[in-house]
Structure 1
Amino acid sequence: MKHYDVIIVGAGSIGMAAGYFLSKEGKRVLLLDAHDPPHTMGSHGGDTRLIRHAYGEGRAYTPLALKSQQLWDDLQEQSELPIFQKTGVLSFGPVDTPFLKEALESAKAHHLQAEKLTEAEMKRRWAGLQFPEEGPYIGCYEPDAGVLFVENCIQTYRDLALQEGADLLTETPVKDVTMRDEQISVQTSKNSYIADDVIICAGAWNRKLLQGVDLMLPLQPKRQVVGWFEANDQLFGSCEGFPGFSAHTPSGIFYGFPSIDGSGVKVGCHDFGQVTEPDEMVREFGVYDEDEDVLSQFLKTWMPEAGGHLKKGLTCLYTMTPDEHFIIDTHPNNNRILIAAGFSGHGFKFASGIGHELTQHILKGKTEMDLSLFKLNRQALTT
């Protein structure tokens, strides 16, 4: 069997970033993916993702967000493709929304540029916003935040990893990972390989793969949808200053993007989705009436001039832990197996930083940043 220093199972956003950083450090790396990344079969499809720094999910995320932003900026310098666009990001909702309180505290704790805005100030700045009478509402606006172009990010890391000497096998599903004392065996649909270290970061397929190494984790994949709607670009165009957004409403948590180059306003719902297994997911958008309805109803209520005709709809896989925090840790019985899982909902923005930290763990036996929030032994994963 061919031997590598590191085998990465799942060459999506985190896997491809780690593949580049490890190869750059001289490691012999094999990247394995069941498809051909970037692709639409996992969790990284859909063109764009937001990157925020003042973090409503917990201020402990902010140092990793800032490190990731630095690495995305570095990647932009190495790419002719657009990686990041600074649109600003507005998070808004009722005044007592815990997410918004934490985002503002995160900005204060980490000395970030962020504005606390009243409902009137938001309407004055972005005329396309409409607020129901149940308010009042507040906003947290981050002018330095913005949009990452997903496929470009992954393609650039892929190109760089290959330039640094990494091997990449696409359309190559992993069937089994076997722990040994000194090395790890990885069996694919085509061949077997061994490595000193293995990173398992296969998105919605993580749960099944980890069962093979005697690790049962509460990772739940869901079918998720996003849609692009016709909009008045004078109100909602990125060039006109409309930001990416996160909206905390009585109907759920919605997120979205300005109309970029006439694409229409893109919107998704964090709380929406059908529980599924990744190989059984219904991939066609619009099979269920609510696919479009849940998105269009949000726009009609909060951004009525962005709630026009549906231009495009897509599905993707969304995999989360019970507490919605990530998993970044070593296997409890073998510290040569690194696990990166449960990122859906807000994980893509951190892919560069997590790939870098996984690399540091392999090189030095520990990460540079404090990632204790993401340990396997936390209560949400053990009860």
Structure 2
Amino acid sequence: MCHSGRVAASQRQRSGCVERAAGGVCKMSVQGEVDTIVIGAGIQGSYTAYHLSKHSKTLLIDQFALPHARGSSHGQTRIIRNVYAKTYYTAMMTECYQLWKQLEAETNTELFRPTGLLVLGKEGNPSFQTMKSTLIDNNVPMTTLTSADVSKRFPAVQLPRGVSALLDKTAGILYADRALKNVQDLFRRFGGIIRDGEKVVQIQPSDLVTVTTTAGIYRAKRLVITAGPWTNKLLNLVGLQLPLEVCYHSGSRADPDERDVSFQRPSQDVELLRDFLSREFPGLDPNPAVVESCMYTNTPDYDFILDHHPDHKNIIVGAGFSGHGFKLAPVVGKVLSELCLGEKPSYDLSPFKICRFHLKSVL
């Protein structure tokens, strides 16, 4: 969309506002029709809405008041890395780094801190060897270190025999909360509308999809569902259930609407990390300074779902990011927007198709 188009969209947005909540979220006085609705304002949904706002009038809905810490996109930091055992993720990461840098430039905000990433593994482990090959095949700057090399270079690290390391020199951390806020701010700058604090209670598929929330009714030519742990609860409204498991990092299952009760119990993750740090990094204090919890939404193969609804082609699903999706959000959002707009996807999406699973109908 050209600059004048963005200004016009912003004027339309302002003319429909009757109040502005804390954080600058626009509240429309009447419900109406937009080109695209995105449900779920985590990093995947927000980046999808950001890409779509350059081409069409887009509405982003979240059931909680923003910002919140109930999903999978909150917190101080996330890892960003090129090292993967599956080469198609490493192939996507090249553009992800470019788009994160672009977001920094567009918002004049530091979002990425380079640190490097040390990946440890047994020298004969097939997955570890595949990670090494993936970095080499994609010309990613890296160094291979033996256990002796690691001890010499990082004296605080003590590795057992037979364990070596890969140093992904491109890796670092993303400032998660800051990144999410800036994507949403840029989305609004491009004329996008955010309705937070509205839970979706009904979805009616048709040429114009009707979405009913606790506060209004909206219609759009296209709908994107990026609701993280709540994805299946929404897909049940349109006759679909995917093999998604909501869990903590340690693998224990969770209901996203019961997380406040579950998180009162001590996390197994804290004990696992404390034991690992005491054993492998004896010079560090193993006790956490800050503990933040978020949920994963896992698929059986830990690959994403990026696809059309099998029966309603104007409903797009982005789900199952399995604890490693944040860094890939710029490209995920781009791909989901391409599926929405009927454009040829920038990447081969065969690993992310819904048809790889045995689907359950809920109708």
Structure 1-normalised TM-score? 0.82
1:292 aligns with 2:270: yes
1:348 aligns with 2:347: no
Rounded to whole Å, the distance in 1 between the matches of 2:83 and 2:122 is 18
Q: Secondary structure at the match of 2:323?
A: coil
CA 1:144 to 1:380, structure 2 compared with 1: closer, same or farther past 3 Å?
A: farther
Rounded to whole Å, the distance in 2 between the matches of 1:179 and 1:376 is 18
Q: Which runs of 5+ in 2 are unaligned?
A: 1-30
Same amino acid, percent of matched pairs: 32
1:150 aligns with 2:185: no
Q: Is the 8 A contact 1:12 1:37 kept in 2?
A: no
Q: Secondary structure at the match of 1:122?
A: helix
Q: Secondary structure at the match of 1:357?
A: helix
Q: Secondary structure at the match of 2:100?
A: helix
Q: How many residues are matched?
A: 330
Higher strand share: 1
Q: Which runs of 5+ in 1 are unaligned?
A: 225-271
CA 1:300 to 1:70, structure 2 compared with 1: closer, same or farther past 3 Å?
A: same
1:109 aligns with 2:137: yes
1:242 counterpart residue number = none
Equivalent residue for 2:240, pick from 203, 215, 235: 215
CA 1:55 to 1:195, structure 2 compared with 1: closer, same or farther past 3 Å?
A: same
2:215 counterpart residue number = 190
Q: Is the 8 A contact 1:178 1:213 kept in 2?
A: yes
2:49 counterpart residue number = 19
How far the C-alpha of 1:285 sits from its partner, in A, is 5.2
Equivalent residue for 2:83, pick from 38, 43, 54: 54
CA 1:289 to 1:89, structure 2 compared with 1: closer, same or farther past 3 Å?
A: closer
Rounded to whole Å, the distance in 1 between the matches of 2:125 and 2:284 is 24
CA 1:214 to 1:178, structure 2 compared with 1: closer, same or farther past 3 Å?
A: same
- Mapping of residues 166-315 of structure 1, within 5 Å: 166-180=192-206, 182-224=207-249, 272-282=250-260, 287-288=265-266, 290-315=268-293
- Deviation track 1:41-80 (CA, whole Å, cap 9, x = no partner) reads 1011221111111312x01111211111110011111223
Rounded to whole Å, the distance in 2 between the matches of 1:275 and 1:284 is 10
CA 1:95 to 1:282, structure 2 compared with 1: closer, same or farther past 3 Å?
A: farther
- Deviation track 1:209-236 (CA, whole Å, cap 9, x = no partner) reads 1111111111000134xxxxxxxxxxxx
2:113 counterpart residue number = 85
Equivalent residue for 2:156, pick from 128, 153, 156: 128
1:238 counterpart residue number = none
How far the C-alpha of 1:275 sits from its partner, in A, is 0.5
The RMSD of aligned alpha carbons is: 1.8
Amino acid of the structure 1 residue aligned with 2:307: D
Rounded to whole Å, the distance in 2 between the matches of 1:379 and 1:11 is 26
How far the C-alpha of 1:355 sits from its partner, in A, is 0.6
How far the C-alpha of 1:173 sits from its partner, in A, is 1.2
1:74 aligns with 2:99: no
Q: Secondary structure at the match of 2:279?
A: helix
Q: Secondary structure at the match of 1:212?
A: helix
Q: Is the 8 A contact 2:70 2:294 kept in 1?
A: yes
Q: Is the 8 A contact 1:322 1:380 kept in 2?
A: no
Q: Secondary structure at the match of 1:129?
A: coil
Structure 2-normalised TM-score? 0.86
CA 1:130 to 1:286, structure 2 compared with 1: closer, same or farther past 3 Å?
A: farther
Rounded to whole Å, the distance in 1 between the matches of 2:66 and 2:128 is 35
Give the 4+ runs in structure 1 shifted more than 6 A.
none
- Deviation track 1:172-223 (CA, whole Å, cap 9, x = no partner) reads 111122211x111111111111100110000000011111111111100013
Q: Secondary structure at the match of 2:290?
A: strand
